[in-house]
Structure 1
Amino acid sequence: MSENAELRPDAAGDAAAALAERVVANLGSAVHASQETLRLPFLCLLAEGHVLVEDVPGVGKTVLAKALARSLELGFHRVQFTPDLLPADVTGVNVFDRRSGVFRFRPGPLFANVVLVDEINRASPKTQSALLEAMQETQVTVDGATHALERPFLVIATQNPIEYEGTYPLPEAQLDRFAVRMTIGYPPHADEARMLAEQTTEPPLDNLEPVATRAELAAGIEAARGVHVDESLNRYVVALLRHTRANDRIALGGSPRSGIALLSLAKARALVEGRDYVVPEDVRALAVSVLAHRLILAPEARATGVTVEQVVLDAVAATPAPV
């Protein structure tokens, strides 16, 4: 057993909390956003989930993905989704080698630790679906042969919530594969002014240095898996999901997969808070980010201006938390 695996729960929690603090501070030097916003993709790394960033252009989505990879010494690839992109452009393709007389697999951009899928909704559904196996199974299948992806593996996909011309909305099955949906938003006035000065002289991303190793991240992922969840917390998450399913304002409620994602993220949050057990606040703090993009409003609710975020908050308020 490795030294990292022998860490006591409290020591593992302290190490993960220190790791999160270093990574978030490093991200903050390149991306001007709140601490909670910057911590969310790191929690997804610990929970082995994926992130959908829905925001307008120019707020730092690409910089966030690059900064996260550099902070942890992770391999990074970016792929721009366009209408003419083919599945093989994402997963990879078999190429005939004339010297050996056999086909050899040429990996696509998915073969990296952090993959930025820019404007995911601009590619055809066929190409979008090429991501599903990678996101769920951490592997791709090309011409009947399965190729494993390197762990940790994080997909950060972006889409513009304003412009829909020439886009293909993500199907519910694919949205359900993203552990969280987040936004970055515009920075405060003072931060935006400082950002203009930085980006027009010496962009911070150019000089960003790693603040942790892959081994430290791997230890954090393993520690997150071992965080204790009381049975009452499991029932609390199920009750929260059932509340969304029974809500007459919702046409499609939270899936069992969303419950798994919510609990996995809650365990990661507990760990970086220095605890080896989950508390109801961990679930409540992540409920909107994990559940909102998976719910579908009923037509009559949409007509009244209700948002899925408000429905999730109402579900959290109406579901008794264990004590």
Structure 2
Amino acid sequence: MTMQIKTLDLEHTCGHVDANSKVSSEWLAEKYINYFRDDQGERLKKFIHKVFTDTGVTIGYHRAWFARVRAKLSIYGDASDQYKRVYDYASAILKYNPGSSALVSVTGAQNPPPTFQRMYVCMEACKVGFTEGCRPLIGIDGCHLKGAYPGMILAAVAKDGNNNIFPVAWAVVEVEDKQSWRWFLELLINDIGFHNGEGLTVMSDRQKGLIDAVETVCPKAEVRFCVRHIWANFKLQFSGTAFKESFWRAVRTSSRFTFIAEMAAIKFLSQDAYNYLAAIPPKYWARHAFLTRSKSNLLLNNLCETFNSVIKEARDKPIIHALNG
């Protein structure tokens, strides 16, 4: 009898599967909860790569997103529950920071339960620090909350004697409009003084409703517009190196003669471009026309831009954690 002996083929020819339904968002949230606690600002693409490196499993964007949501729920709790604690938070500020301001506004107070609308905070140290150590200039700006509930953060940021940014007051409001800005500015002026804005310089990006609110609450304040935003809108219609150079020379010069010369150069290039800039009074954006009482030739609202960048991670948290920074 003849026996045939077959050799064992040890070469693996099966395809590799890098997906696994067992790696659920619940499992990921539990396993990587410390990762999300420490690296809240990281992009989900980096988290997806980390999971693949650790486990060899590829997860989709939506599974990674749900994992982050579940992890944040474990870390911070339910976002809706924190709105029930804003009164306690405001009371704690008033109790442990005497002289501070903390105001909560609600709707539906006559028909319980009330609904959170706005909250304003100005610490006593911020009031004193601004009045005693900062130039009489504030930048005001708004940015979006990025959590489960919509809203806006309004902030007033100053510049101290060393040209460092100095947060003065902040608020969470339902929407950015004339009414909410007026509410915020009235509380701010009441805290820092400068009745009717006299002696104060206000820098803004010309947000919706803000200009009208400033004119109502601070009619005697010097108003400046962020030049970067003016340029961003201007260059959409009038681009080119010649326009750019003349525009910024007109902005930065402290000489009225030079300003007129540069505006004439812009007019030579385009009558429409000249008319566009001439429609904005120079006192709002040209250095030569600024008042000297603020002791600052600030042209950009980068005070608020920097502040908004610093609080970027906080804006994605529930309200109490967001206000705590």
If the length of structure 1 is used for normalisation, what is the TM-score?
0.22
Larger Rg: 2
Question: Which of structures 1 and 2 has the larger relative contact order (alpha carbons within 8 angstroms, sep 6+)?
Answer: 1
